[in-house]
Amino acid sequence: MKKNKFLYHIKKYKVVLFVVALVLSLVGSYQLYHGKYDNIFKEITIIVYSTFKLFAFAPTNGTLNEAPLTYELAIWAAPAFTMVGFFSVFKKIYNSIKQETYHIRKKHMVLIGDNEDTLDFIKNFNMEEPNIGTILLCDISDSVDEQKYHALFTKVVRVDFSNPKNEVNKMTVKDEKIGDYGKIICFENDPKNYALVESLAVMMKDTDYKIDVFIHSQNYRMKELIELKMDDIDVFDIHYFTANDFLVKELFERSSFRFNHPKGLEEDWSKYHFTDFKEIANKIGTYNLLIVGFSEISESFLNQASNILTVNALDNLRVTIIDSDASGKFDKYNDYKTMIDRVIDTNTINLPKGSRLLKQHVLKIHQETPFSAVLFGDSDVNENVFNLDKLVDVLRDVPFAIYAKDVGEIETIVASLRLKHDRITAFGDRKSIMTKSVIIDEQLLKSAKHFNSVYNQTMNDMMGWDQDKRSVEEQWMALSNIKKESSLYQSAHRDTKLRVLSKFVQTPENEESVEKLIKSWAKELEGLSVEKQLQIIEKNPYMNYMTALEHKRWNNFYYMRDFQFGKKDEYLKTHDCLIDNWDEFLSGIQRDKAIYDTMSTLSINLGLNEE
């Protein structure tokens, strides 16, 4: 640290040092040689020569002879500046050598895309994994400021993405050991990111192991158009992510933000007895959200809330959206979600920005159906602050989430607002999620892989099938991308299921703990035919409810990806199990498929102890 401070001050004041050294050298040489020569030009020459010699570590007067004070000071100051200059001149050479030696014998995280997200990730990654190097892989024609990457000890490697079969590309990939860390992240913008990853796959087609590739997808529709084609790439296991989705996940999972639950989930169920799954649905109720300001972050909020807040097997999530163009923006959002009315009951209110009517509209709805949470999701942080201030006295017990691209900018304001409302959570700082722990080591991804394996194991046990001998990773790799995403969302819904089950165990007729309840259900169904299992499920209102709830959640997932009912085809986005009416589903030709929904709940039990 002291060394860094010293170098900082030397760099900062080197011009001042040069001026001081030059003045001392000129004045000192003048005092030493003035009047000793009759020829004025000879005197000037000697003074200039003496000045140069001082900077060259060779004073003309020698170091043992007496001289004026200024000259003596110049003997030290001039060489000192020369040393600073020497290191400045050779700094590039030094850094070049340091860069090369730094990367020796290191595995490398490979990054694609020259932008701020890449730089933020590198800075965070260098702290998370100091023993792993980083490589920026770019095209030979890209205009990249390599110095800013070298400053972060990142090696810049160039290939010709437009000609992936070029032998030079293959040699470059091999020599630079691209993919030796097993992870590649592409931060390039849509749709270029997909083309670059596909091109790189051609260069690396001879790689004898799978590489995890994480693609930052900015456009949901673009990803859906391309993902089935990307599934055909054998050498890569491709994962898609968006910064906004990660920001919302961090809000839901790792912040102090918590939804208010429906009244039915807050009550004590010890005095209740249910004879039909519909009675349970009526008792539980549903969540009711308010979104003030509809932007891309609001879309991500809604996408994930529609999954984790699926708590009622019969009723939809309720959402009120208030914006200056709420209707228009929501219509654009559901252009590729034409079945969204099967998932969400939406109320859009068009209000000009800064409208005084905001409080009046919100209070009226809240008095009829209390809000579970409020998102202030405008892209303009000032609007979010002003809107929050308007509602802070109206919704005192409702959790607030306020979006800001730079959370630090509003920390003081939020701290002040918390004096009136203590359930305010600010989020939205992209730099905080550009990390290995968030993008690569995502906990939900690990949980989904584990849950998928447990689900398969539970199904095999229940049906008396042979156990799957494949590893957890191999089972995961066998899934298409849409099924992987479905497993992710299924895993994310686990806490919601546990919350419902925790109410079931309060009733007199059920087991005293969730774990015991699930084990008793599993034992009841084990070894029976599917038809007999379904008959038992139908007679048990609690088991029937959990089966119907998972079917509702599963339907929601596919509806939010614009699937419709029809012959099962991922390319055409149709599925023959998308039947909303639970009684109709159980009495139809897809009846046997209901057991898969039951397995989702039975699989929770093993996951309790193994995650």
**Structure tokens, 322:** 């208030």
% helix, strand, coil for the chain, step of 5: 55, 10, 35
Using the 8-state DSSP alphabet, how is residue 492 labeled? H
Q: What is the mean pLDDT of residues 5-28?
A: 73
Separation of alpha carbons 165 and 175, rounded Å: 16
The backbone torsions φ and ψ at residue 116, rounded to the nearest 5 degrees and listed phi first, read: -65, -35
What residues does each domain of the chain span? Answer: 2-89, 106-241, 247-436, 442-610
pLDDT score of 608 more than 50: no
Lowest-confidence pick of 137-146, 338-347, 364-373, 443-452: 443-452
pTM: predicted TM-score of the whole model, two decimal places: 0.82
End-to-end CA distance of the chain: 41
> Tell me: the pLDDT tens digits for 354-411?
899 999 999 999 999 999 999 999 999 999 999 999 999 999 999 999 999 999 999 9
**Structure tokens, 426:** 């600010």
Map tokens 């994962």 to a residue: 239
Q: What is the mean pLDDT of residues 150-155?
A: 90
Q: Do the Cβ atoms of 120 and 434 come closer than 8 Å?
A: yes
CATH of domain 106-241: 3.40.50.720
Residue whose C-alpha is closest to residue 392's, from 355, 434, 422, 429: 422
Return mean pLDDT, the chain.
89
Separation of alpha carbons 573 and 564, rounded Å: 7
Classify strands 236-241 and 211-216 as parallel, antiparallel or unpaired.
Answer: parallel
Collapse the DSSP code of 388 into the 3-class scheme (helix H, G, I; strand E, B; otherwise coil) and give the result: helix
Q: Do the Cβ atoms of 152 and 134 come closer than 8 Å?
A: yes
Separation of alpha carbons 8 and 11, rounded Å: 5
pLDDT band with cut points at 50, 70 and 90 for residue 539: very high
Amino acid making up residue 599: M
**Structure tokens, 98:** 């340091």
**Structure tokens, 405:** 């691209």
Separation of alpha carbons 399 and 139, rounded Å: 47
Separation of alpha carbons 322 and 293, rounded Å: 6
Separation of alpha carbons 611 and 608, rounded Å: 7
Q: What is the mean pLDDT of residues 321-332?
A: 96
> Tell me: the pLDDT tens digits for 271-305?
999 999 999 999 999 999 999 999 999 999 999 99
Sequence-separated (6 or more) residues with CB below 8 Å from residue 328: none
**Structure tokens, 222:** 């673009």
> Tell me: the pLDDT tens digits for 173-196?
999 999 999 999 999 999 999 999
Q: What is the mean pLDDT of residues 516-541?
A: 93
Q: Do the Cβ atoms of 138 and 118 come closer than 8 Å?
A: no
Separation of alpha carbons 301 and 309, rounded Å: 11
Lowest-confidence pick of 21-30, 123-132, 281-290: 21-30
DSSP H or E stretch at residue 55 = helix 40-55
Residue whose C-alpha is closest to residue 134's, from 177, 91, 196: 177
> Tell me: the pLDDT tens digits for 302-326?
999 999 999 999 999 999 999 999 9
Sequence-separated (6 or more) residues with CB below 8 Å from residue 590: 576, 577, 579
Separation of alpha carbons 261 and 309, rounded Å: 9
**Structure tokens, 571:** 């390319």
Q: What is the pLDDT of residue 29?
A: 84
Separation of alpha carbons 190 and 432, rounded Å: 22
Count of CA atoms in the C-beta half-sphere (13 A) of 248: 23
CA 413 to chain centre: 26
Q: What is the mean pLDDT of residues 229-254?
A: 91
Using the 8-state DSSP alphabet, how is residue 371 labeled? -
> Tell me: the pLDDT tens digits for 468-504?
788 888 888 888 888 888 999 999 999 999 999 999 9
> Tell me: the pLDDT tens digits for 39-98?
888 888 888 888 888 777 788 887 778 888 888 887 888 788 777 766 665 566 566 666
Q: Do domains 106-241 and 247-436 have the same CATH topology?
A: yes
> Tell me: the pLDDT tens digits for 447-462?
888 888 888 887 787 7
Q: Do the Cβ atoms of 488 and 448 come closer than 8 Å?
A: yes
pLDDT score of 565 more than 60: yes
Sequence-separated (6 or more) residues with CB below 8 Å from residue 468: 453, 456, 457, 460, 475
**Structure tokens, 564:** 């419709």
Right CATH for 247-436 from 3.40.50.300, 3.40.50.720, 3.30.70.100, 3.30.70.2860: 3.40.50.720
